[in-house]
Structure 1
Amino acid sequence: MLGDLVATDDGRFAVRFERVLDHPPQKVWRALTEPGHLAAWFPVLVEFHAVAGAALRFELKPEAKRRFDIAEDEDTASYGEVIAADPPRLLEYTWGNEILRWELQPHGDTACRLVFTNVFDERDTGAPAAAGWHVALDLLTAALDGREVPWSPWDRADELTAQYAATPYR
């Protein structure tokens, strides 16, 4: 299920995903905020505390540095700030100029609905961003389920980029 590419009211763009996860909001919250869990699915290494106003630090993973031919010791850090944190319902933060918003709502007795929105400035960012987050959410689901994925996240993102490039903005 592809995410939705949308034009925002303020002239920016976004990709939005909605997924039902077979895990309670508290467990999903831990996967969104705790370093050990984030390392299993988030596209980069990230350090932060889920408290409004807290700083975030993002760093490319070694595999990304290899793929992009970046020296292992090169500093690729970028930064953000937590805008809102209401455990286990809402987490919103910046990553450079982008906004990432994670909303969790109970769905029945043991599941939750995850709504994830990534807001960015450039229309052309949409397809690769959507593909990357699509893969990240698939990895998040697998990590929560305790299973490995049988595919390369990099190859899967390349496949999905073409699909998202053919998807019109709403």
Structure 2
Amino acid sequence: MMNDYGTLHKSNGRYALRFERFFPHNTEDVFHVITNPSYFSQWYPFATGEMDLRLGGKIDFDDGEGTTYQGNITDLEEPYLFGFREGDDLINISLVEQGEVCRMVFTHTFNDESWAVNTAAGWHRCLDVLDQIVNRHPIKWQDNSAKLREIYSELLKTEG
């Protein structure tokens, strides 16, 4: 499993968790997995699989507890950039081809630092599953939430 830990950054009173992952595929293939609604709903929390993939398009979410909501696509430049707003939060995924690999930078910008550790642990797990999907491995969610929260408690304390 991947062990590429995210980092926390503060800018203009907001916080950003940033993760980098590398895939042995071209940007087109990785972009397709990231933006294909059926794949997206397998790795992205609360995604329903309903997505209007265009600038300004909507993405439907369901928290599983009766609340549904929409995000909207703010950046879309195939096969390099996919970004959207989910409430006050911004998600930005950029892809760069570097030789034989695709470098993905995943950034989640949000307001409340108190959620950073839990959010980092959650994204780490989701991006591990994205890695499995991109590499055509069977999806297996690891039972490592508590361990990741412990790791991120230490990592983010020294970076924040």
Give the structure-2-normalised TM-score. 0.88
Structure 1: 5+ residue runs without aligned partners?
Answer: none
Q: How does 1:9-158 map to 2 (within 5 A)?
A: 10-46=12-48, 47-60=50-63, 65=64, 70=65, 75-109=66-100, 111-148=101-138, 152-153=141-142, 155-158=143-146
Is residue 2:147 matched to residue 1:159?
yes
Q: Which amino acid aligns with 1:162?
A: E
Q: Which amino acid aligns with 2:153?
A: A
AA in 2 matched with 1:124: S
8 Å CA contact retained: 1:48, 1:57: yes
**Paired amino acid for 2:110:** F
Deviates more, 1:133-142 or 1:41-50: 41-50
Distance 1:158 1:39 in 2: 23
Question: 1:96 Cα shift?
Answer: 1.1
Other structure's SS at 1:23 match: coil
Superimposed CA distance per residue, residues 2-32 of structure 1 (whole angstroms, 9 cap, x where no aligned partner): 1001112x10111001111111111111111
Q: Is residue 50–residue 91 contact of structure 1 (8 Å, CA) maintained in 2?
A: no
Tell me how far apart the structure 1 counterparts of residues 68 and 76 of structure 2 sit (CA, whole Å).
23
Is residue 6 from structure 1 mapped to residue 24 from structure 2 by the alignment? no
Question: What code does the residue aligned with 1:159 have?
Answer: K
Looking at structure 1, the residues matched to 13 and 84 of structure 2 have their Cα atoms a distance apart, in angstroms, of 19
- The alpha-carbon deviation at position 149 of structure 1 amounts to 5.1
Find the residue that maps to 2:131 and give its secondary structure: helix
Moved over 4 A (4+): none
Alignment gaps of 5+ in structure 2: none
Q: Is the Cα–Cα contact under 8 Å of residues 84 and 92 in structure 1 kept in the other structure?
A: yes
Higher strand share: 2
CA distance in 1: counterparts of 2:147 and 2:46, whole angstroms:
20
